[in-house]
Amino acid sequence: MRIPFRIAVIGSGNTSRKVKEQAEEVGRHLAENGAILLSGGLGGVMEAACQGATQSGGLTVAFLPGLDANAANSSVQIPLPTGLGHARNLLVVTGAEAVIALDGSLGTLSEIALAAIHDRPVIGLNTWDLDSARTRGFQVETASNPQEAVLRALARAEEKRSDS
């Protein structure tokens, strides 16, 4: 039995309509490729990605900042209340084999940093641009559209499994 890839989708809880459309498409492509979508479970990018995944028959798992499972957006199938606030970002990225970042504010930047620390590849769609000289060679690999972001994330996840 092949274990599905776990791909985190990160981004701002409050974002533009265009970014939400991209996030929904990312979720849809992840579901179509049999991946499990991990997120922080709230609004914005997280909600749109979860909507896309569930509408396409995918599985969505969320690490929520508080203790109330009902705080999850309506497209989260498995809400995991943590009570950790922003510290739950560590669970989002370490639970994944690759991360897709869309847009984002400081919470997203913290998740990108945690992904770098824990050797998780990050594929970015219009997100933070990091100076690799200051991040010891870690870079956010950029994609030009949601489908490319998903394909790159799945390829990096496959590489991580092969290295293990």
Domain boundaries, the chain: 6-152
pTM equals 0.94
The CATH classification number of 6-152 equals 3.40.50.450
**pLDDT score at 31:** 98
- Measure the CA–CA gap between 146 and 130, rounded to whole angstroms: 20
**pLDDT score at 128:** 87
Residue 88 and residue 63 in contact, taking contact as beta carbons nearer than 8 Å: yes
Q: Mean pLDDT for each 10-residue chunk of the chain (164 residues)?
A: 93 96 98 98 98 98 98 98 97 98 94 95 91 70 95 94 82
Show the tokens assigned to 92: 């989002």
**pLDDT score at 1:** 74
Q: Which residues of 64-88 are buried (b: 16+ CB within 10 A; e: fewer)?
A: bbbeeeeebbebbeebbbbeeeeeb
